[in-house]
Amino acid sequence: MVKNVKEQLEILADLQQIEISIARLEESLAKVDESLARLDRELSQFSEAVDKARADVESAREKYDEDEKKVRSITDQIAKNEARLGTIKTNKEYQAALKEIDDLKRERSKLEEAMLGTLEKIEAAEKILAEKQEFAEQQRAEIEEQKNDIAGAAAGKKKELERLRRKARAIADKVEPRLYNTYTRIKRNGGGVAVAAVENAVCQVCHMNIPPQAFNELLRLDEIKICPNCQRIIYPRQSD
């Protein structure tokens, strides 16, 4: 049997209002976390774009360096072959040596032509890298500013949330244990709403009429009553 039913119902009604405010703040802060995570993903995308452009530059430079080494090696080989031309005794060997030198020169020419194309790729890749770096820095500054604004607004909400949680705990301590257990069970099953006001014999949550006898019993405030329709704890409230 609940003692001082009216007082307990008033406490529950206050507790529910505070818990509804807590739920709204928690939902709002969850959206803040989502927004910050989204902005972090955007930052990562910009960083990845810069990294990709930098990798393209490095890849082109590596290709140029690789071809440059090949050209130096071929040039050295041509020089050696030309140097030994004077030592060759037969015409057949001489012609073969000349052909080898010509082949090496053609190979070198192809590599040098490819290097010119690689230089153009390097120049283009460096330009893209510079553009992406500049754009990424601009976006980073804007996003960091947005994050700071969001975090600043969230800080106030977090303080208010903690204040309401302390207040809710203090109020919950005033509810009789068995009634509090009933309240939490109904709240869990009722979408976060466990207590409903009744005005003019109408439940203000499910908007269904309370039977006359049940409404008269509710007005006596001598025991906890449950809405026969939505199964929430009900209490009478005078309409304005």
Domain annotation for the chain: domains and CATH numbers:
8-175 (1.10.287.1490), 176-240 (no CATH)
d(CA 59, CA 69): 15
Report whether 224 contacts 5 (CB < 8 A): yes
Residue pLDDT, tens place only, 125-136:
999 999 999 999
What's the whole-number average pLDDT of the chain?
A: 93
Asked whether residue 118 carries a pLDDT value surpassing 60, the answer given is: yes
pLDDT band, residue 89 (cuts 50/70/90): confident
Collapse the DSSP code of 191 into the 3-class scheme (helix H, G, I; strand E, B; otherwise coil) and give the result. Answer: coil
Structure tokens belonging to residue 193: 């709403």
Asked whether residue 239 carries a pLDDT value surpassing 90, the answer given is: no
Q: What's the predicted TM-score (pTM) here? A: 0.64
Residue pLDDT, tens place only, 165-219:
999 999 999 999 999 999 999 999 988 999 999 999 999 999 999 999 999 999 9
